[in-house]
Amino acid sequence: MSKIRDVLLRFPGVARVRLTHTGEGRLEAHVLGWDKPMLSPDTGPFAELAKNNPDELQFLHDEIFIAESYLQGGIVLREDAVVFDVGANIGIFSLFVGARCPSAEVFAFEPVPDVFTQLRTNVERHGVSTRLFEIGLSDREQQVTFNFYPDLSIMSCRSDYADLDNETELVKKYVANARETGPDGRDEHLARVASLVDKDFDLSERRCQLRRLSAVIDEAGVTCVDLLKIDVQRSELDVLKGLDDRHWALVRQIVMEVHDEVGTPTEGRVEEVRALLMKHGFEIADTEVDLLRGAGRYTVQAVRPGYENDPRPVIASVGSGKELDEATLRDWLADRLPEHLVPRRITLVDMLPSVD
């Protein structure tokens, strides 16, 4: 049955599969999809994820799966894409890549040990083809101290780059913007997020290893990076500076969060990043992150000219995610398996049955 499960998991949008036999011995497949609307982090495939905080998971889901923030600006995922997920956190973007482009190989980087453990659990549970690195990326190899916020791990960052007042303001902006333009049915979630800034953030320190991107590329033998995704809390420029001139041509697309906060050391960084990417031949777009309007957070997309001529088919782009249907899944299996291995019934479910 593992062969049937593996084939189903290669269909875009399939999160989990459970195979059962009826009383008559007939094989049935229960399929849980990623792209079914998420009403709560306690339902669907997200309920099973290792996480620090369900409200943080809700934010990541809305940003990555609903807003498709990393596929904006012409970014696409091609068949057999190589994706570097720098600042992987608990793995939601890695899971998104696996959901939309199951043939992709993801290199996921997360330096904070507590969060890395959750990342490993999540990608292994869902069968994403991933190479995991318990490191961060920077302009040189070093060990540094990170601030780790258990209640809001996505704010964790190098201690020397931390700005707690700014993070508090960001949470307030997110709540205000989400109430105005975000998905419906989030009132309780937003109230809980708002309450995080009514008390001091829990904080502990972790010593973390940083390496240069070029060192990893050399050691891994990577010959093409179809998408370099960077979200590293004010360290984004350091990541780019860790890429040698000889490796820039290997990178075909970049999508990154850039901090450009007025009155801070990051002010003017969007233009600095744009200049560096233009120097290396990319076409560039940038937008302010919608749910973080006014907080100095921007997304920069960079695509190398000519990438549209890559012969591999585009598997994922903005709007390509679709809810699953039984007939399409059955056809997918019938094209890849002997007839006797195709389940008699395929059922789409909100939660998998508890017995395999």
What per-residue confidence (pLDDT) applies to 356?
42
Q: Domain spanning 2-33+323-349: which superfamily?
A: ANL, C-terminal domain (3.30.300.30)
Contact 201, 156 (CB under 8 A): no
Question: What are 299-320's pLDDT values in tens digits?
Answer: 999 999 999 999 999 999 998 8
pTM: 0.89
User: How many Å apart are CA 94 and CA 63, to the nearest integer?
Assistant: 13
Question: For tokens 């041509």, what's the residue?
Answer: 249
What per-residue confidence (pLDDT) applies to 144?
98
47-316, CATH topology level: Rossmann fold (3.40.50)
| CA–CA–CA angle 291, 213, 233 (5° rounding) | 25
Q: How far is CA 148 from CA 122, 137, 241, 270, in A?
A: 20, 17, 24, 26
How many C-beta atoms surround the C-beta of residue 70 within 10 A? 25
What per-residue confidence (pLDDT) applies to 39?
55
Enumerate the CATH 3.30.300.30 domain ranges in the chain, comma separated.
2-33+323-349
Q: Where are the beta strands (DSSP E) in the chain?
A: 14-21, 27-33, 77-78, 82-86, 105-109, 130-133, 136-138, 142-148, 157-158, 204-212, 227-230, 253-259, 283-288, 297-303, 314-316, 345-349
What per-residue confidence (pLDDT) applies to 198?
65
pLDDT averages per 10-residue partition of the chain, 356 residues: 84 87 82 69 76 83 86 96 98 94 96 97 89 98 95 89 79 77 71 71 91 98 98 96 98 96 91 97 87 79 97 94 87 91 88 63
Task: Give φ, ψ of 41 to 5 degrees.
Answer: -70, 0
What per-residue confidence (pLDDT) applies to 176?
80
Question: What are 146-192's pLDDT values in tens digits?
Answer: 999 888 888 899 999 988 777 777 777 777 877 877 667 677 777 87
What per-residue confidence (pLDDT) applies to 233?
92
